Amino acid sequence: MSVDTQKRAAAEAAVDRIEPDSVIGVGSGSTVDQFIDALAASDIRIEAAVAASEVSAARLRRHGIEVRDANSVGELSVYVDGADEITRHLQMVKGGGGALTREKIVAAIARQFVCIVDESKWVTALGDFPLPIEVIPMARSHVGRALVRLGGHPALREGFTTDNGNLILDVRHLDLSQPIAMERQLNDIAGVVTNGLFALRPADELLVGTDTGVQRFT
Ligand code: 5RP
């Protein structure tokens, strides 16, 4: 089974988690694209969605799904998003697409975070995927030096600006064995907008598309 087929299987399974007429949160990335398409093709009609990226918002609108600003909604019933890495504790590294800040905001206002991934994202420990960190442009050098002091090797994501007008540093070799502590420590660096560790608020449910079907973890 191809990775795309695994992503589609996880995405279709997530459609079953959607309550009709609800307002939901939608993340970003290729797995979420499959979720948006699967939702639009299903019988389920939602009231509206809050999107974590402009790309996802545009795809939702193309399917005729209303997109709302996060400030105009209360709590969302569910947030569906992918991940770059996820563990058995449902802690994640996210931000490969650079949408980590809005993803963290939408996840924060949702009751349930349903993570959908192909099998390659399912890991025993976080840290092989470089950790994305969104940084205010004037703080790039300062944040880079602070990351080096923590043992990281930061690299500027060339030619990339986030939906919020900021930069991304992709950091290798940080010790992510204590993800909650590291997430807090990185948040404390002046100029860091968001880091791609999602450990303080992990997923509530994981749907992994595999060659033998969709595996579910809570
Ligand atoms: C974007 C993300 C995505 O969820 C993550 O990169 C996974 O993407 P894909 O579904 O394309 O593998 O965090 O910022």
As for ligand 1, residues whose beta carbon falls within 6 Å of it are 27-31, 81-84, 94-100, 103
Q: How far is CA 204 from the centre of its chain?
A: 13
Q: Give CA–CA dist 110/92, Å, rounded.
A: 16
Q: In what order do the strands lie in the sheet with 213-217?
A: 48-51, 23-26, 76-81, 110-118, 205-210, 213-217
With a pLDDT cut of 90, the percent of the chain lying above it is 99
Angle at CA of residue 89, ends 156 and 102, nearest 5°: 40
The pLDDT, as a whole number, for residue 147 is 98
Smallest CA-to-CA distance from 139 within 94, 200, 194 is with 194
In angstroms, what CA-CA distances link 82 with 33, 49, 57, 103, 177?
10, 16, 16, 10, 21
Atom of ligand 1 nearest to the CA of 100: 14
Q: Give CA–CA dist 113/88, Å, rounded.
A: 15
**Residue 3 scores a pLDDT above 90:** yes
Average pLDDT value for residue range 29-51: 98
Query: Are 78 and 26 a contacting pair, CB within 8 Å?
Result: no
Residue among 33, 94, 114, 120 to mutate when testing ligand 1 (max atoms within 8 A of CB): 94
**Residue 154 scores a pLDDT above 80:** yes
Catalytic residue among 12, 85, 103, 183: 103
Compute, in angstroms, the gap from residue 198 CA to the centroid of ligand 1.
13
pLDDT tens figures, 174-216: 999 999 999 999 999 999 999 999 999 999 999 999 999 999 9
Residue 155: pLDDT band by 50, 70, 90 thresholds?
A: very high
**Does ipTM surpass 0.90 in this model?**
yes
Phi, psi dihedrals of residue 182, rounded to the nearest 5°: -65, -40
Q: Give CA–CA dist 109/118, Å, rounded.
A: 25
Q: Determine which residue's CA is closest to atom 2 belonging to ligand 1.
A: 95
Smallest CA-to-CA distance from 100 within 75, 68, 78, 132 is with 132
pLDDT tens figures, 113-149: 999 999 999 999 999 999 999 999 999 999 999 999 9
Residue 66 is among the residues annotated as catalytic for this protein:
no
Compute, in angstroms, the gap from residue 116 CA to the centroid of ligand 1.
10
Residue among 7, 28, 120, 164 to mutate when testing ligand 1 (max atoms within 8 A of CB): 28
Average pLDDT taken over every residue of the chain: 97
